[in-house]
């Protein structure tokens, strides 16, 4: 027989749902105290602190509703939950390996970091001063991605896999990270969406770009800061936002500007990435890191 929740339980639930939250896509406090400092909001330009940010491409009403699109995170002890826990446990042994080093490097996010991390598959280290349209495209898209991931992060408030244990992770543990929401992975969302954009800009390199985009998301599992299902949900969120962006005329116009600019940068006398590092990366990424 169903029981009506007590007045106390209803009050607690109301308070939890009304708790203030931070606006950053990846590290959203759980719950965020009103007086606590938060990550930069969508109204702040992280590249030029203090200056207003460029607006997202999509109107809020046009942003895909990831709460409706994504499945719920796996229930405790469900098959997918067991797969999540197996992925976390099996990847702890990668500490100290080249794959762990890649995961640590992939912690950096944003346009500049991703272009650097994709240098091996692009074949050139991009001089970012020469590609302002590419940087603008990716950073403005980042605002749309942040908006899309915010909803499910707040809705599900899922804890990260390292919470409650002492297993190694590839970043420094902090209370802010432990208290932030896990589902979906903002890094995986961003990395996959950026890979889709780069593949559209340089379609002849689409396969290695998308392989690297997948690995960028998997780095969050290797790092120990996201569940496998968080990363899968991030890819779906990134794909949803990219699909909506392709219907936006301003985004398409910026995409065309970036296409010519990136092609010119790749055809020019750019700096080749370190070949030994690229070989190590290719070897480390040849096999998926997950074992069950």
* Short-list 101, 151, 118, CA closest to 265: 118
Residue in 140, 147, 220, 235 annotated catalytic: 220
User: Does residue 85 carry a catalytic annotation?
Assistant: no
> And the tokens for 271?
């700096």
Q: H helices of the chain, where?
A: 7-18, 66-69, 79-91, 98-105, 111-117, 119-122, 132-156, 175-178, 186-201, 206-223, 228-245, 249-267, 275-285
* Short-list 268, 274, 252, 272, CA closest to 130: 268
β-bridge mates for residue 271, sequence order: 125
β-bridge mates for residue 52, sequence order: 44
Contacts of 220 (CB under 8 A, 6+ apart): 103, 106, 185, 187, 188, 226, 230, 231, 234
User: Does residue 187 carry a catalytic annotation?
Assistant: yes
Residue in 142, 157, 226, 235 annotated catalytic: 226
C-beta neighbour count of 201 within 10 angstroms: 21
β-bridge mates for residue 125, sequence order: 271
Burial 83-102 (b: 16+ CB within 10 A, else e): bbeebbeebeebeeeebbbb
Is residue 46 a contact partner of residue 110, using CB atoms and an 8 Å limit? yes
Is residue 41 a contact partner of residue 50, using CB atoms and an 8 Å limit? no
User: Does residue 136 carry a catalytic annotation?
Assistant: no
Residue in 27, 84, 144, 230 annotated catalytic: 230
Residue in 187, 212, 214, 235 annotated catalytic: 187
User: Does residue 226 carry a catalytic annotation?
Assistant: yes
Residues 154, 158, 161, CA angle at the centre, nearest 5°?
145
Catalytically active residues are 187, 220, 226, 230
């Amino acid at each position: 027989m169903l029981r009506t929740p007590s007045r106390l339980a209803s009050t607690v639930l109301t308070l939890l749902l009304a708790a203030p939250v931070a606006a950053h896509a990846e590290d959203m406090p759980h719950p965020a105290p009103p007086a606590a400092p938060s990550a930069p909001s969508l109204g702040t330009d992280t590249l030029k602190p203090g200056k207003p940010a460029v607006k997202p491409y999509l109107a809020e009403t046009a942003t895909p509703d990831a709460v409706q699109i994504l499945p719920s995170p796996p229930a405790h002890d469900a098959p997918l939950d067991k797969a999540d826990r197996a992925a976390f446990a099996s990847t702890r042994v990668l500490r100290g390996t080249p794959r762990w080093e890649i995961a640590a490097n992939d912690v950096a996010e944003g346009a500049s970091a991703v272009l650097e991390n994709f240098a091996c598959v692009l074949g050139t280290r991009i001089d970012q001063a020469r590609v302002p349209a590419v940087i603008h495209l990716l950073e403005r898209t980042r605002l749309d991605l942040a908006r899309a991931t915010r909803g499910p992060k707040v809705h599900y408030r899922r804890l990260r896999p390292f919470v409650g244990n002492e297993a190694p992770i590839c970043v420094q543990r902090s209370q802010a990270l432990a208290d932030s929401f896990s589902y979906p992975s903002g890094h995986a969302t961003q990395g996959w969406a950026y890979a889709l954009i780069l593949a559209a800009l340089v379609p002849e390199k689409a396969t290695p770009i998308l392989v690297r985009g997948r690995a960028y998301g998997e780095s969050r599992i290797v790092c120990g800061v996201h569940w496998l299902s968080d990363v899968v949900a991030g890819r779906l969120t990134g794909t949803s936002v990219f699909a909506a962006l392709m219907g936006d005329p301003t985004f398409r116009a910026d995409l065309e500007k970036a296409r010519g600019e990136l092609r010119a940068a790749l055809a020019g006398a750019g700096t080749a990435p370190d070949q030994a590092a690229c070989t190590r990366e290719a070897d480390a990424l040849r096999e998926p890191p997950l074992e069950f």
